[in-house]
Amino acid sequence: MHLGLGIDTGGTYTDAVIIDLEKGKVLSKAKALTTRHDLSEGIANAIGALDNVKYDAIRLVSVSSTLATNSVVEGKGCRVGLILAGAEYRQTVTINEVVEIKGGHNLIGERLAELEIDKAREFVMSTRNKVDAYAISSYLSVRNPEHEIALKKMVQEVCDLPVVCGNELSTKLGFYERTITAILNAKLIPIIADLLVSVKKVLSIHDIRAPLMIVKGDGSLMGEAMALEKPVETILSGPAASLIGAKYLTKEEDGIMIDIGGTTTDIGVLRGGKPRLDPEGAMIGGWRTRVKAADISTSGIGGDSRIVIANERIYLNPLRVMPLCIASSKWNCILPKLVKASQEKPRPQAGHVAIENVIQNTEFFIFNKAVQGMELSKEEQSFVDLIKAEPRTIYEVSEMTGIHPFSFNVRRLEEIGLILRIGLTPTDILHADGSYIEYDEEASKVAVQIQAGILERDPAQFCKDVRAAVIYKLCMELIKKLVYEETGKLPTCDVCQNTFDKTITHKAGLDYSVSLKLHKKIIGIGAPVGAYLPAVAERFETHLLLPEHSEVGNAVGAITGSIMETVEVLIRPKPGVSAMDNPPCTLHSSFEKREFETLDEAVAYAEKWVRTSAKELALQAGADEVELVVEKDDKIGHLGKSWGEGIRLETRVTATAIGKPRLFFEAKV
């Protein structure tokens, strides 16, 4: 018997499945809470809960995770130093240190300026103890990577911190998108490293020696070494695995997958049995990246989204918090503190405070884990010291220290992973209304009573209102995704919003109403889908599929994927000779810019190089037998009959290597 172990480490739950690789049958499945302070605990609990597992028959282990996606959405990650050559940085993604130096190239790969490598060296010398990794982005490095290569070599000579270059992650134009991708890759290095170490720790306990694979954002697999080098490619790993799992569990070739997790909801479309890849790169947290990934819409709404009461309204905040029902089952002090808070007069709230900074007496904080090299202010240190003993509210710490509540910068401490927030979530709502009970529902009920009291509503009505808010947001995200699929544009105007609102609520406007019927079935993946998706499917007049094992669909997708590696080379005629039949050309790749006397010579060189490189990458990723597909795409500009067949603008040569992962008894030791 040949078994596969699939693991999905999400923001809330860690799932595990055992699949018979020969028969394709799910033999066992289990869920456990993800333990952020030590991921190995949650992974061990999930694997330990599997029934009748023959560990010596496990031939392959594959992992998917929402950790990278969640970290981007929540603004978390390690400290990054950015070196920019030939351009200015637009403050889109938060970074810790940045330097702008002369350098970069133009569209034909010629230098715009000599590289200021000494200035970059001074920057690294002064920041190497302030950051955890470096990201390097040089203007138009996809046309000539020499400056990024030189800067990376310099950083490696000065310190032993990880270094990420933009040209290593994407061959597409788009300096700012490529810069963001490099920054995010650097931020995610310790997060994915922590995941892999945790998985391997648990595998060693059970003496599982099978190869370890990681799901990439496009649904394919890669080996652990490649995942450590390019963790940004695991962005949308969990959702991509969900798409693969949705197809595997339903056998549907076409459908709309909605995966509701603890931190995010992911929506993707199956067409012809395959997830469609976003040609521009994954869009995460409002940022366009150059990561090749399934075209999946990710929004910050999940079972553990933070519920905020402010300005006499209910808000669903994308920040993931630990549900009170779960926290109360771990710490006995939570429920008594909530009961006490329910007996107190509600505290006034400032109306001008941003939602993320609203202080609620139903929210507690607990120490998560130490962060090396992090300097804390006196107020922050006092806060951390007090919550190490037990979960406390900001108001509790304020009363104990005499420090004003707003003096504690808890968001900063959350972003770096030093502390965790506990609060009211949609999961608590399901506990409070009795539709789903697994932990301490009393804590959820008391918190609902407190928050409902602030709005002067009945607790039962409050629960209905939160449920309605979740369903509304799911519907809104779904319709935006479908419009984007249809038009390729994100609908943001007031007219769109008004039309979508009428579509979702079915409320009549002044003169008209709006309804929308989906042509595809909705496939639900995730534990809480039964609580929300029936209403979503009803509003869009379509069928809902909730397949068996849907609650562990990510883990199923993780173990049923394939390895796929793609390498691309761009060839462009030299200026002024585009109309020639076989013109002199310049080849641009991720490691060189090379000149050729003829197009034929350049294409021959490119085809050989992409074949070799794609095959090597697939083998490095852990593939067994590799199938290669090489494509040549000529882009021709047509200027009229007098120009004959047109002028050659560029030629792209692409090789794709596809293969199944090598099983452990075949692996080289």
Q: In sequence order, what are the residues at sequence separation of 6 or more whose Cβ sits closer than 8 angstroms to the Cβ of residue 10?
A: 34, 65, 66, 238, 261, 262, 263, 554
Q: Where among 551, 584, 614 does a domain terminate? A: 551
The verdict on 326 and 430 lying in the same domain is yes
Residue 284 clears pLDDT 90, i.e. is over it? no
pLDDT of amino acid 665: 57
The verdict on 434 and 477 lying in the same domain is no
Check: CB of residue 194 under 8 Å from CB of residue 82. no
The verdict on 530 and 624 lying in the same domain is no
Give per-residue pLDDT as tens, 546-574.
Answer: 999 998 999 999 998 888 888 899 999 98
The verdict on 495 and 573 lying in the same domain is no
The verdict on 432 and 472 lying in the same domain is no
Name the band, by pLDDT with cuts 50, 70 and 90, for residue 411.
confident
Report the range of poorest mean pLDDT among 390-399, 403-412, 512-521: 403-412
Name the band, by pLDDT with cuts 50, 70 and 90, for residue 651.
very high
Q: Highest mean pLDDT: which of 222-226, 336-340, 375-379, 409-413?
A: 336-340
**Could you tell me if residue 495 is inside a domain?**
yes
The verdict on 406 and 531 lying in the same domain is no
Closest by alpha carbon to 177, among 239, 456, 349, 185?
185
**Could you tell me if residue 588 is inside a domain?**
yes
**Could you tell me if residue 209 is inside a domain?**
no
Q: Token pair 């997708």 is at which residue?
A: 557
The verdict on 525 and 629 lying in the same domain is no
Give per-residue pLDDT as tens, 167-179.
Answer: 877 777 788 888 8
Give per-residue pLDDT as tens, 13-45.
Answer: 899 999 998 888 999 999 998 887 788 899 999
**Could you tell me if residue 191 is inside a domain?**
no
pLDDT of amino acid 407: 83
What SS3 state is found at 440? coil
Q: Name the more confident of 601 and 87.
A: 601
Residue 640 clears pLDDT 60, i.e. is over it? no
**Could you tell me if residue 184 is inside a domain?**
no
Give residue 493's domain range.
467-551
The verdict on 589 and 655 lying in the same domain is yes
Name the band, by pLDDT with cuts 50, 70 and 90, for residue 379.
confident
In order of 45, 77, 294, 480, the CA distances from 271 in angstroms are 36, 34, 12, 18
Give per-residue pLDDT as tens, 472-506.
Answer: 999 999 999 999 888 878 777 889 889 999 999 88
5 forms beta bridges with: 18, 61
pLDDT of amino acid 386: 94
Report how many domains make up the chain.
Answer: 3
Q: Token pair 């290597």 is at which residue?
A: 657
Q: Name the more confident of 370 and 260.
A: 260
Dihedral, CA of residue 198, residue 183, residue 125 and residue 371, to nearest 10: -40
Q: Where among 463, 485, 506 does a domain terminate? A: 463
Residue 599 clears pLDDT 70, i.e. is over it? yes
Check: CB of residue 584 under 8 Å from CB of residue 602. no
C-alpha 129 chain-centroid distance: 28
Provide the percentage of residues in the chain whose pLDDT is more than 90.
Answer: 47
Q: Where among 463, 496, 530 does a domain terminate? A: 463
pLDDT of amino acid 526: 86
Q: Token pair 């060296």 is at which residue?
A: 121
Q: Name the more confident of 642 and 607.
A: 607
Distance CA 314, CA 298 (A): 21
Report long-range pairs for 246-250 (Cβ below 8 Å, ≥24 apart): 246/270, 246/523, 246/525, 246/547, 246/553, 246/557, 247/273, 248/24, 248/556, 248/557, 248/560, 249/547, 249/548, 249/549, 249/550, 249/553, 249/556, 250/523, 250/545, 250/547
Question: Positive or negative CA dihedral for 501, 504, 267, 75?
Answer: positive
Name the band, by pLDDT with cuts 50, 70 and 90, for residue 408.
confident
pLDDT of amino acid 492: 78
Name the band, by pLDDT with cuts 50, 70 and 90, for residue 375.
confident
Residue 333 clears pLDDT 90, i.e. is over it? yes
**Could you tell me if residue 358 is inside a domain?**
yes
Distance CA 94, CA 105 (A): 26
* pTM to 2 decimal places: 0.76
The verdict on 333 and 379 lying in the same domain is yes
The verdict on 544 and 450 lying in the same domain is no
- Exposed/middle/buried for 624, CB within 10 Å: 0-12, 13-18, 19+? middle
The verdict on 452 and 589 lying in the same domain is no
The verdict on 325 and 474 lying in the same domain is no
Q: Name the more confident of 561 and 289.
A: 561
Q: What Rg value do the Cα atoms of the chain yield, rounded?
A: 26
pLDDT of amino acid 533: 95
**Could you tell me if residue 165 is inside a domain?**
no
Q: In sequence order, what are the residues at sequence separation of 6 or more whose Cβ sits closer than 8 angstroms to the Cβ of residue 229?
A: none
**Could you tell me if residue 71 is inside a domain?**
no
